[in-house]
Amino acid sequence: MSSEIAIKVDNLSKCYQIYDKPQDRLKQSIYPRLQHLAGQQPKQYFREFWALRDVSFEIKKGETVGIIGRNGSGKSTLLQLICGTLNPTGGNIQTNGRIAALLELGSGFNPEFTGRENVYMNAAVLGLSKEEINTRFDDIVAFADIGDFIEQPVKTYSSGMMVRLAFAVIAHVDADILVVDEALAVGDAFFTQKCMLFLRSFMKTGTVLFVSHDTGSVRSLCTHGIWLEKGRILQEGPPKKICENYLEAFYEAQQGKSTTTRIKIEAIDHSIAHAKDQRQEFINASNLRNDIQLFEFNPEAPSFGKGEAQIVSVKFLDREGKPLAWVVGGEEVVLRIEALAHSNLNSPIIGFFVKDKLGQCLFGDNTYLSYMDSPVVCPGGQFLTADFLFQMPRLFAGNYSITVAIANGTQQNHIQHHWVHDAIIFKSESTSVASGLIGIPMNSIILKTMSS
């Protein structure tokens, strides 16, 4: 294996034997041997369940790879095989470097041992000497932040405390490869933030492989995505594309296949060639302005849905209803989304997300809460328009997009009729944003000294 490869998985398979009754396990251990000796065809008393089948991929050193997939797709089994806690039925795994893993909640802990004893045991398993553990113990305890519970048996810990201690250990063992299996989902917000800071720091030099149902984390953290489905790799590639396809498959699993029929709407003008330039009404002398260039709605953008309604137009307007070609961060704008109902909609919902170049959602909204008590009924063949009035936030320089959708039903239970990825692209050309994903225009910033 090349020294540039951290993990290499080649035709990996894992099969479990499923027994319908406990006595079948005993029969399987005795009868087939006797039947073989008697010259009979041995009978099988179990069913085969292939958790993984012929999975192959390579992860280079320094990559951060996210694995997504529905429950039962084989994600956790894959991580356990890579970490060596399970043996494969077939195939090979090669790793290059020390692996630290945070798998199932409480795995690797002895519930009768105290937190201190489990720290020494886990760190020793991961390759640290007692002297090294002594040196790092105080830092591990400080990172876990569980106070005097470090001297109590782990069986008295809450799930959050257990994750804190486990993550604190793997954060201090100088690992080359970090493997995390959805464990951070049970931590509180403060500890999750601490873990994310550590992960981002570790990603600068180490290799990370993690399982998550949070596609936002996969988009923001990962350089590569793998989608597992029924024990096989369905897709792998850029995280943004993998997450979009996974989302489409999720809706199709709930409501059936998407329609590919799209009606051309000739009456709607998508051009912004003569649209208004909002920069002309701003303080052009200011070097703090955020200039955002808007591009046309793309009716051919990737989309999915049942097709009983269709997004036909997305555009930015000023308060007077004039279309905009340029927007200034901090100014008031209207995002107008127009749709055509092909069938009767008794409770339509139109919404949007603004996303950065990684596909992370910055902000968004929909019409449901405003109209849940008095839904706007839209007969088939009529157009439906949703206007969202807001102040355009200031944005870092770079490319952004707006994903729009129309559904029918409630926030919790609805049919997705047309979801359009990246319906509009826009570009922040210049900015004064100092930090964060978006900037909020300050009414004033005052710095002054005061006498003691």
212 shares a domain with 267: no
pLDDT attached to residue 204: 87
Final residue of a structural domain among 199, 221, 250: 250
User: Are 415 and 277 in the same domain?
Assistant: yes
Domain end (from 209, 229, 250): 250
Q: Does residue 371 share a domain with residue 413?
A: yes
CATH number of the domain enclosing 16 = 3.40.50.300
pLDDT of residue 265: 60
Q: What is the pLDDT of residue 438?
A: 77
- The domain in which residue 23 lies consists of 5-250
On whether both 9 and 96 belong to a single domain, the answer is yes
Q: Are 196 and 265 contained in the same domain?
A: no
Residue 440 inside a domain? The answer is: no
Residue 443 lies in a domain: no
448 within domain boundaries:
no
Residue among 316, 247, 327, 240 at smallest CA distance from 279: 327
pLDDT of residue 293: 84
Residues 118 and 223 reside in one and the same domain: yes
Instruction: Let me know whether 227 and 283 are in one domain.
Output: no
Q: Is residue 450 part of a domain?
A: no
- 170 located within any domain: yes
Whether residue 299 sits in one domain with residue 241: no
Of 204, 222, 250, the one marking the end of a domain is 250
Q: What is the spatial distance between Cα 73 and Cα 402, in angstroms, rounded to a whole number?
A: 31
Of 353, 334, 367, 332, the C-alpha closest to 423 is 353
Tokens, residue 179: 């493997």
pLDDT number for residue 46: 87
Q: Rounded CA gap, 58 and 374, in Å?
A: 53
Same structural domain, 44 and 184: yes
- 297 and 339 both lie in a single domain: yes
Counting the structural domains of the chain, the total is: 2
pTM of the predicted protein model: 0.75
311 backbone dihedrals φ, ψ, rounded to 5°: -70, 125
State the 10-residue block means of pLDDT for the chain, 452 residues long: 87 92 87 83 88 94 92 90 91 91 75 93 88 93 90 89 88 89 65 80 89 82 92 92 89 78 58 58 55 86 92 91 86 91 94 87 91 91 92 86 94 91 87 69 61 63
Amino acid 109: pLDDT: 85
DSSP one-letter string for 268-320? S----TT-EEGGGGS-TT-TT--EEEE----TTS-EES--SEEEEEEEEE-TT
Res 285: pLDDT: 45
Residues 216 and 279 in one domain: no
Residues 6+ apart with CB under 8 A from 276: 318, 322, 323, 324, 325
**Quick one: pLDDT at residue 284?**
47
Does 234 share its domain with 374? no
Residue at 73 is within a domain: yes
Residue 438, in any domain of the structure: no
End-to-end alpha-carbon separation of the chain, Å?
66
User: What integer pLDDT is reported at residue 395 of this predicted model?
Assistant: 86
Whether 428 is in a domain gets the answer yes
Whole-angstrom CA distances from 160 to 101, 163, 302 are 17, 5, 40
